[in-house]
Amino acid sequence: MIPILHRSVNVITLTNKCDKIEKNSAEFVVTCHLLQQGMPKSIVRDELLYLANYAEKISPKCSAAGFFIINRFILGALFSSVTTYLIICIQFNISESQNS
């Protein structure tokens, strides 16, 4: 039971860290846009706009070998899949015990 709990904690921690990376990247882009809006026409304003556009293009996303993106929404899907699997296993177990 302990290894299952340990792995569950690791999955939740990893998922939260990946989500935080994605959110911080988006906040950085928004901050660049807000800073450049408050500036008069200058080279720094152009550089901030360039930096925001570049950061949007290379924004980090954690994925599982490119199959799906890991963020906070994956925890609900994972919990749902495990619950469905357990229900099916219980139903098969009940069916086998009735047939015996």
Q: Tell me the domain boundaries of the chain.
A: 2-99
> For tokens 């928004």, what's the residue?
30
Q: How many CB atoms lie within 10 A of CB 10?
A: 10
- Please state, rounded to an integer, the average pLDDT across all residues of the chain: 89
Provide the pLDDT confidence category of residue 1 given band limits of 50, 70 and 90: low
CB atoms within 10 A of CB 69: 14
Count of residues for the chain? Answer: 100
Q: What is the pLDDT of residues 15-58, one digit of tens each?
A: 999 999 999 999 999 999 999 887 888 888 889 899 999 999 99
pLDDT of residue 26: 93
Q: CA 40 to CA 29: how far, in whole Å?
A: 19
Q: To which H or E segment does residue 33 belong?
A: helix 2-37
